[in-house]
Structure 1
Amino acid sequence: MEEQRKKKQRKKRLVIGVAAVLLLSGYLYWQDNDLMQTEYTCNSPDVPAEFDGYRIVQVSDLHNKWCGKDQKRLIKAIREEQPDIIVLTGDIMDGNHPKVEPAARFCELAVKIAPVYFVPGNHEAMVKTEYRRALYDRMHACGVIFMIDRSVELTREEAAITLTGLESIRKADYFALKQISDAQTDFVVLLEHNPTDAKVFLQSDADLTLTGHTHGGQFRLPLIGGLYAPDQGILPEYDGGAFYDAGHMLIINRGVGNSGFPFRVGNRPEIVTVTLHRMEGGETT
């Protein structure tokens, strides 16, 4: 009898253990793959009336990830947002395990939805030249617009706003501030991968800055936020979401993929949609 009782206990523990592993695996899979669509509105008196309702979809930190066969889930999510432009804020390729196809194929499909603008991240910089060239060649071929230390004007009817892209504000402080200050339009959108120097962005002349890099702190806890971000370390101040200062708005995209840590906790992947809204008077909010 005692032996049978012990057998039942062992079997029960085994069943509970297997169930716990399955539940944990399912949770981590959901956390890694259930794509969120996060919406923000950028209210500013500097938004031209013609750009009221203008929609910008931001994708960041893809890191070689496949979102369904042929990027079907990611493309579907972007198409549903009906963007006027799509911006990619770096690390679409993973430098630790470089692959061309996931990012290249995504770009080839995304440009069919809306014009695509790209700034590179640290992972594009760290890969071998052959991988970077192979990816960039395909991106150029399908019409992705590279925004490496340059500005363009986006027009709608008779109005325009400025879009500026930076490869790295750490090496281009002067360029960044000069390009933004020299903008011929009232409203400026800045694209940059790394938000570590967030205070520079929030004190610049950019009305809206879009960044990524942090992966949302990888593991997020209620009331605490992200636990770790590259370049910021433990309990980063700028981990993800929207930040405001003196009429400037900074958005840190939590990204789509992973690098280093193979999973996320409390921090599902996201794409971000920002809708521009003209308001009368006041500061950007």
Structure 2
Amino acid sequence: MAIFKVYIDNNLIEVLNYKIHSSKIPKEFNGFKILQISDLHSKSFGKENIDLINKVEAVEPNIIVITGDMVNNDFDYSSFISIVNKLTVKYKIYYVIGNHEQNVIARNPDEFNNMLKEIKEKNVSIINNKNISISMGKQSINLYGMYTDLKYYRDFRNKASRSINFSVKDMEELIGKCDKNAYNLLLTHNPVFFSTYSKWGADLTLTGHVHGGMVKLPLLGGIFSPEYTLFPKYYEGIYKEYDNFMNVNRGLGRGNFGIRLFNRPELSVITLYSTRKYEV
């Protein structure tokens, strides 16, 4: 029975649906579906990822966003490429890299750039530290993609690393000032600095990285953090600060961890609605 539970929690994808309401969302975006994929870590769900692809197609999203760590440190891009090959036929995909991609870049930049070239040719938009506009009718929202230096992925085993902070000024140096007159969607991998993202002006931030804490306990939540601390503040689902929201996707793979438990692989579906007040 325990083996069956571990199999489910590591291999059967759960689709989680969230609704975000804001007066800043144009009416043309009512019902706009964003499907978020994160932290695949080179894992496959069925042959050529057919199980994952079927889950996505059942949602029929307006766009797909990918928030990093699609590959592991093993240079195996085949699982990621299988997703791109199938899904770009129907959907526009926006992608920002995570810390594992940065590790691969440091070790083998030529091979990684070849992978980026391949997915670009499939019409994937790579929005690393840049922004684009997404339009519906005559209205639009801003989509920002941001990745940070690896030093901002703190390691609490290292005393010097514990005090590292990421400020609004740091963020502006990477992606510029926020256009606060528009609705702003931010894709970034690390949820730790949600307060900074919110103060900068991100109305909705989509992140991953924490894998749901890998193992979840009732009432206590996710246990493990990539920062090498226990019970991370942000580990799954929707969080709110001021009038701004953040979704932490639990991810699909395991990375360098052992197993997932009470924490199934996740696809997030975030649907936008225009209202007079902020709510979720």
Task: Name the structure 2 match of 1:176.
Answer: 171
Stretch deviating more after TM superposition (180-189 or 32-41): 180-189
| Structure 1 residues not aligned, in runs of 5+ | 1-22
Q: CA deviation at 1:184?
A: 7.3
- TM-superposition CA deviations, 1:69-121 (whole Å, max 9, x none): 111111111111111110000000012x2201111111121212310000000
When residues 87 and 24 of structure 1 are mapped into structure 2, their CA distance, relative to the original with a 3 A threshold, is: same
2:25 pairs with 1:35: no
Alignment partner, residue 158 of structure 2: none
- What is the correspondence of 1:1-285 to structure 2 with a 5 Å cutoff? 23-95=1-73, 97-127=74-104, 128-168=108-148, 170=152, 173-174=168-169, 176-177=171-172, 179=175, 181-183=177-179, 186-231=182-227, 233-280=229-276, 282-285=277-280
Residue aligned with 2:4, SS: helix
Using the TM superposition, give the Cα deviation of residue 196 of structure 1 relative to its aligned residue in structure 2, in angstroms.
Answer: 1.4
Check whether the contact 1:253–1:270 (CA below 8 A) recurs between aligned residues. Answer: yes
- Amino acid corresponding to residue 124 of structure 1 in structure 2: E
Encode CA deviations 1:173-217: one digit per residue, 9 max, x unaligned: 536347574427520100000111122123331110000000000
The structure having more radius of gyration, on CA atoms, is 1
TM-score normalized by structure 1? 0.87
Gaps (5+ residues) in structure 2? 153-165
SS in 1 for 2:147: coil
Map of 1:4 onto structure 2: none
Contact 1:59 1:255 in 2 (8 A): yes
The one-letter code of the counterpart of 1:157 is G
* Distance in 2 separating the partners of 1:67 and 1:180: 38
CA distance in structure 2 between the aligned counterparts of 1:253 and 1:46, rounded to whole angstroms = 23
- Matched with 2:160 is none
* Amino acid aligned to 1:98: F
User: Is the contact between residue 201 and residue 250 of structure 1 (CA under 8 Å) also seen in structure 2?
Assistant: no
Query: Equivalents in 1 of 2:76, 2:279: separation in Å?
Result: 39
CA contact (8 A) 1:160 1:185 kept: no
Give the partner amino acid of 2:133.
E
SS across alignment from 1:58: strand
Find the aligned partners of 1:173 and 1:123 in 2 and give their Cα distance.
24
**What SS class does the counterpart of residue 271 from structure 2 fall into?**
strand
Q: TM-score, normalised by structure 2?
A: 0.88
Note the C-alpha offset of 1:257. 0.6
Tell me the amino acid that sits aligned with residue 167 of structure 1. Y
What is the aligned residue count? 261
